[in-house]
């Protein structure tokens, strides 16, 4: 009869059990870093003239990032909650109703009026044709290869440590 004993078997087993936690921590760190890189790319490249010009800075300031660990997935997201951002991202081709409002008229027939005139503009339909100007999806597509590479690297590093 041959009998043997593995010295350090408990250490090997504990390292094997720790691998998923190490991979998860490394991937979570990488997703956080990638979300920040994507946020920076959107703000510095896409919203500074490449896709949309920066007028007031409201859209730029509204861009945010978040990383959620959902147990089965680590999800990084970059986006905004401004209502008009969706129209720029996907484009709009529809008829909208302009509500009744007051208009301050200061010029007529190319000449300045002595005193401004206030008039009522009735509610009316207006055709809205806004072309697609993707600033979020296009930035994500440009970073796709780098994201894939960094996530694979993070998983490999999680196994090694």
> Is residue 51 located within the same domain as residue 66?
yes
**pLDDT given for residue 31 in this prediction:** 92
Backbone angles phi, psi at 107, to 5 degrees: -135, 145
> Is residue 27 located within the same domain as residue 81?
yes
The first and second tokens of residue 70, run together, are 């959902």
> Is residue 100 located within the same domain as residue 114?
yes
Check pLDDT > 70 for residue 19.
no
Nearest 5°: the CA angle 30, 31, 32 is 90
> Is residue 39 located within the same domain as residue 69?
yes
26-81, pLDDT tens digit by residue? 889 999 999 999 999 999 999 988 888 878 889 999 999 999 988 778 899 999 99
Domain around 111: 92-130
Which helix or strand (DSSP H or E) is residue 128 part of? strand 124-130
71-80, pLDDT tens digit by residue? 778 899 999 9
> Is residue 96 located within the same domain as residue 38?
no
The DSSP letter of residue 43 is I
Task: Give pTM, 2 decimals.
Answer: 0.75
> Is residue 60 located within the same domain as residue 136?
yes
**pLDDT given for residue 12 in this prediction:** 58
Determine, yes or no, domain membership for 70.
yes
127-157, pLDDT tens digit by residue? 999 999 999 999 999 999 999 999 989 888 8
> Is residue 32 located within the same domain as residue 68?
yes
Determine, yes or no, domain membership for 60.
yes
Neighbour count for residue 128 (Cβ, 10 Å): 13
Determine, yes or no, domain membership for 3.
no
> Is residue 48 located within the same domain as residue 105?
no
pLDDT band, very low/low/confident/very high, at 106 (cuts 50, 70, 90) = very high
**pLDDT given for residue 48 in this prediction:** 84
Averaged confidence pLDDT in the chain: 87
> Is residue 155 located within the same domain as residue 78?
yes
Q: How many domains does the chain have?
A: 2
Determine, yes or no, domain membership for 26.
yes
């Amino acid at each position: 009869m041959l009998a043997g004993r593995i010295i350090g078997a408990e250490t090997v087993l504990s390292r094997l059990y720790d691998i998923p936690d190490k991979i998860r921590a490394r991937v979570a760190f990488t997703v956080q870093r990638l979300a920040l890189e994507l946020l920076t790319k959107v703000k510095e490249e896409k919203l500074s003239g490449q896709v949309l010009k920066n007028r007031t800075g409201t859209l730029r300031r509204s861009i945010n990032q978040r990383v959620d660990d959902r147990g089965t997935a680590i999800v990084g997201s970059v986006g905004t909650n401004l209502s008009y951002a969706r129209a720029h991202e996907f484009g709009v081709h529809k008829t909208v109703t302009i509500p009744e409002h007051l208009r301050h008229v200061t010029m007529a027939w190319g000449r300045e009026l002595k005193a401004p005139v206030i008039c009522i503009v009735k509610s009316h339909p207006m055709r809205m044709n806004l072309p697609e100007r993707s600033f979020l999806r296009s930035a994500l597509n440009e970073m796709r290869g780098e994201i894939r590479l960094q996530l694979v690297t993070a998983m490999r590093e999680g196994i090694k440590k």
